[in-house]
């Protein structure tokens, strides 16, 4: 199903057999829990039977309400205490569940038609590039899923921000995404801490969002690089962060590389445009036939730049063999 962030592979959240097929289709390890998606509407009603807020203090409750009042429906996932109605498979056995209310008319219509919340991990094979068009879903999972609901290209293009909310309203960032941390702080008036390692953010593996082609990250703007650095030699596809591609291409050619394709995330340096184009651009460069992809850092780690940089870092991270 389409969402405003990326396409998701949906299954009825309360049906363990259906959820198991999602893990199988994605080749996703069972330690990596799923996000439960609910239809647009009053969060208290939509989350009834899925999350349990019994242990929440008035302050915790206020913090939570300020988040969903402001950001739902939208690209914010909240990790909250769960009920026993949620299958263990969904939460990887944790006592919390991740929930989100997507802002996409087709996702909403599907959720209403089914009448039960849906799990929906990004509709890619595990560790690969998330799909932002129906055609990319077909490329990733076309041999494994029977239907793709085409809702057009995703407006945001990056996954939701994931935040754990504790019973007193303490916040921890588990994944940067479509809602900037600065906005969470502004709305709640509370600091947002970092996730603990391991169990707190399962599934946030260093290598993720990876093209099949090795991707190397330059330390700064390619146009002013004085060595090809980790790019070595041979054919390359080039990911320019902002501005035109021509200066970067000219520089790499002067350094002896053969550029087979070059793309920019945003010719004007606009973060929203860069977020929207990131995964589709990585996919296009992956299909160029180059030996390597050379990517420029986004440089600005504030606002949406936090999530853009996170995805680029993980795309470049060493891969498990």
Is 160 one of the binding residues for Mg ion (CB under 5 A)? no
**How far is residue 171's CA from residue 106's CA, in Å, rounded to a whole number?**
30
State the minimum distance, in angstroms, from the CB of residue 244 to ligand TXA: 30
Q: Please identify which residue in the block is written with the tokens 């990131």.
A: 278
Q: Which stretch binds Mg ion (CB under 5 A): 61-69, 95-103, 119-127, 301-309?
A: 119-127
**Which of 3, 63, 96, 122 forms a contact with Mg ion (CB under 5 A)?**
122
Nearer to Mg ion, 96 or 122 (CB): 122
- The DSSP-derived string for 123-167 is SSSTTSPPP-SHHHHHHHHTTT-S------S-SS-SPPEEEEE-T
Please give the residue whose beta carbon sits closest to ligand TXA in the complex: 203
**How far is residue 95's CA from residue 199's CA, in Å, rounded to a whole number?**
11
* Distance between first and last Cα of the chain: 31
Q: Which does 6 bind (CB under 5 to 8 A by kind): Mg ion, ligand TXA, none?
A: ligand TXA
Q: Which does 32 bind (CB under 5 to 8 A by kind): Mg ion, ligand TXA, none?
A: ligand TXA
Nearer to ligand TXA, 81 or 247 (CB): 81
Whether 82 and 48 have beta carbons less than 8 Å apart is answered as no
Nearer to ligand TXA, 34 or 316 (CB): 34
Nearer to ligand TXA, 37 or 242 (CB): 37
Residues in the chain, how many? 321
Q: Which does 91 bind (CB under 5 to 8 A by kind): ligand TXA, Mg ion, none?
A: ligand TXA
Residues that bind ligand TXA (CB under 6 A): 3, 5-6, 8, 32-35, 75, 77, 79, 91, 94, 96-98, 100, 102, 120-122, 159-160, 162, 174-175, 201-204
Q: Which does 176 bind (CB under 5 to 8 A by kind): Mg ion, ligand TXA, none?
A: none
Whether 102 and 4 have beta carbons less than 8 Å apart is answered as yes
Q: Side-chain half-sphere of 122: how many Cα atoms within 13 Å?
A: 25
215 token code pair: 């991707």
State the minimum distance, in angstroms, from the CB of residue 42 to ligand TXA: 20
Nearer to ligand TXA, 9 or 265 (CB): 9
- The DSSP-derived string for 221-244 is -GGG-SS-GGG-SSEEEEEEEES-
Whether 177 and 158 have beta carbons less than 8 Å apart is answered as yes
- Using CB under 5 A as the binding criterion, the count of chain residues that bind Mg ion stands at 1
**How far is residue 180's CA from residue 75's CA, in Å, rounded to a whole number?**
10
State the minimum distance, in angstroms, from the CB of residue 61 to Mg ion: 30
Which residue, among 67, 141, 66, 157, has the nearest Cα to 104 in the 3D structure? 157
**Residue ranges that bind Mg ion, judged by CB under 5 A:** 122
């Amino acid at each position: 199903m389409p969402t405003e962030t990326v396409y998701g592979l949906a299954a009825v959240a309360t049906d363990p057999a259906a959820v198991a097929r999602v893990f199988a289709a994605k080749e996703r390890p069972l330690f990596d829990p799923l996000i439960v998606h609910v239809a647009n509407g009053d969060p208290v009603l939509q989350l009834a039977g899925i999350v349990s807020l019994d242990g929440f203090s008035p302050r915790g409750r206020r913090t939570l309400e300020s988040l969903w009042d402001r950001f739902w429906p939208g690209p914010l996932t909240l990790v909250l205490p769960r009920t026993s109605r949620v299958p263990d498979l969904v939460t990887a056995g944790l006592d919390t569940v991740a929930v989100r209310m997507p802002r996409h008319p087709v996702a909403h219509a599907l959720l209403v038609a089914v009448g039960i919340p849906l799990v929906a991990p990004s509709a890619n094979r595990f560790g690969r590039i998330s799909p932002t068009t129906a055609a990319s879903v077909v490329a990733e999972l076309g041999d494994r899923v029977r239907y793709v609901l085409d809702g057009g290209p995703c407006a945001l293009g990056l996954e939701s921000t994931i935040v754990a909310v504790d019973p007193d309203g303490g916040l921890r960032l588990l994944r940067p995404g479509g809602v900037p941390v600065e906005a969470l702080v502004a709305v709640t008036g509370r600091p947002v801490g970092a996730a603990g390692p391991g169990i707190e953010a399962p599934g946030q593996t260093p290598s993720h969002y990876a093209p099949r082609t090795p991707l190397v990250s330059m330390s700064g703007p390619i146009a002013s690089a004085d060595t090809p650095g980790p790019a070595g030699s041979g054919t390359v596809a080039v990911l320019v962060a902002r501005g035109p591609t021509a200066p970067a291409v000219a520089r790499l050619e002067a350094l002896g590389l053969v550029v087979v394709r070059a793309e920019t995330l945003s010719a004007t340096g606009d973060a929203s445009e860069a977020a929207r184009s990131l995964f589709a651009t990585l996919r296009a460069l992956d299909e160029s036939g180059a030996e390597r992809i050379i990517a420029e850092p986004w440089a600005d780690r504030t606002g949406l730049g936090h999530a853009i940089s996170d995805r680029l870092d993980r795309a470049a991270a060493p891969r498990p063999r």
